[in-house]
Amino acid sequence: MGLTYSSVVSADAGEVFAWHTRPGAITRLMPPWQPVRVVREAPSVRDGQAVLALSAVLRWRHTHQFAPAGESTTLVTDMVDTPVPAGLLRPMFGYRHRQLAADLAAHARARQLCPAPLTIAVTGSGGLVGTALAALLTTGGHRVIRLVRRPPRDAGEREWRPDAPDAGLLAGVDAVIHLAGASIAGRFTPAHKDEIRDSRIGPTRELARLAARSAPGLRAFVTASAVGDWEDAAAPAAAAGIRTVHVRTGIVQTPRCGTFSAGIRIPPIRMPGRPE
């Protein structure tokens, strides 16, 4: 059993291969409806090993092939050796190939506006939106610095104290994407409403003030937002001449978690064979 699945994407083979070698690739390719999450990415696309959390242990050997298919196009072929029937695998790989094509197209559009890779600091990078966004940025060749509220675990993290951020927190950063805030899930009791407000307005204002002091090196300040005081809190960044963007979203829905989540907890296991 298993599956061989192919499609043609609008990018040359070198770029397609490079995309797969960058951090975040496996996260971008993981279908949101599957009960699988990434514990650790493979250090090498050639012979490394990814660690996933899955509800069962499977034999899984996965080979990627990339071949030129014409001018600036590539034939991408996935060959999977596994006991899982092809009928169950086909929707997964259809999703993966559509996601790959869409991401490569997005990166191509972005390079037309900004050819050079950026260093981008992100708060809330472990959340639903932040996880997907950080992976999108790193597969595009950008460096993501995760601003976390604990001691950093590696060079890709910096400790962020929301009420009093360190003066050097944004050193060397080209843009800030601020997504952090208490979850709106649950009953809107007075205490919950205070938590939501306090987790957004004060930290946004302090981060915007720090961004203002980091100008002109900092080029953009992007913040998840809503009308009123939350958007006003970003005013120091805009006043310093930094391009400031307020992103307003409704409820983000996905089978992976949140509104559509089944709430199933699954233990981490090691997937043998070639990495994603």
Residue 6 is predicted with a pLDDT of 97
Q: Which ranges of 140-272 would DSSP assign to H, the alpha helix?
A: 190-214, 229-232, 235-239
Expressed in percent and rounded to 5, the helix, strand and coil fractions of the chain are 35, 25, 45
Cα separation of the two ends of the chain: 19
Q: Cβ distance 82 to 61 under 8 Å?
A: yes
Query: 107-134: per-residue pLDDT in tens?
Result: 999 999 999 999 999 999 998 899 999 9
The three-state secondary structure class of 209 is: helix
Residue 207 is predicted with a pLDDT of 97
Residue 276 is predicted with a pLDDT of 41
Most confident listed range (20-34, 138-152, 172-186): 138-152
Residue 268 is predicted with a pLDDT of 44
pLDDT at 275 over 60: no
**Pairing state between β 143-148 and 243-248:** unpaired
Contacts of 97 (CB under 8 A, 6+ apart): 5, 7, 9, 76, 78
Q: What is the mean pLDDT of residues 137-146?
A: 97
Q: What is the mean pLDDT of residues 69-88?
A: 93
Residue 263 is predicted with a pLDDT of 40
CA 21 to chain CA centroid, nearest Å: 15
| Region of residue 179 (phi > 0: left; psi between -120 and 50: alpha; otherwise: beta) | alpha
pLDDT at 90 over 70: yes
pLDDT at 35 over 80: no
What integer best gives the mean pLDDT of the chain? 87
Please state the pTM of the whole predicted model: 0.86
Percent over 90 (pLDDT), the chain: 64
Residue 274 is predicted with a pLDDT of 39
pLDDT at 13 over 90: yes
Query: 178-198: per-residue pLDDT in tens?
Result: 999 888 878 889 999 999 899
**Pairing state between β 51-53 and 73-81:** unpaired
DSSP character at residue 156 = T
Residue 130 is predicted with a pLDDT of 94
Residue 56 is predicted with a pLDDT of 59
Please, which pLDDT band fits residue 270 given cuts at 50, 70 and 90? Answer: very low
- Domains observed in the chain: 3-112+263-270 (3.30.530.20), 116-241 (3.40.50.720)
Please, which pLDDT band fits residue 42 given cuts at 50, 70 and 90? Answer: low
CA 40 to chain CA centroid, nearest Å: 14
Please, which pLDDT band fits residue 53 given cuts at 50, 70 and 90? Answer: low
pLDDT at 11 over 70: yes
Name residue 109's amino acid. R
**Pairing state between β 37-40 and 51-53:** antiparallel
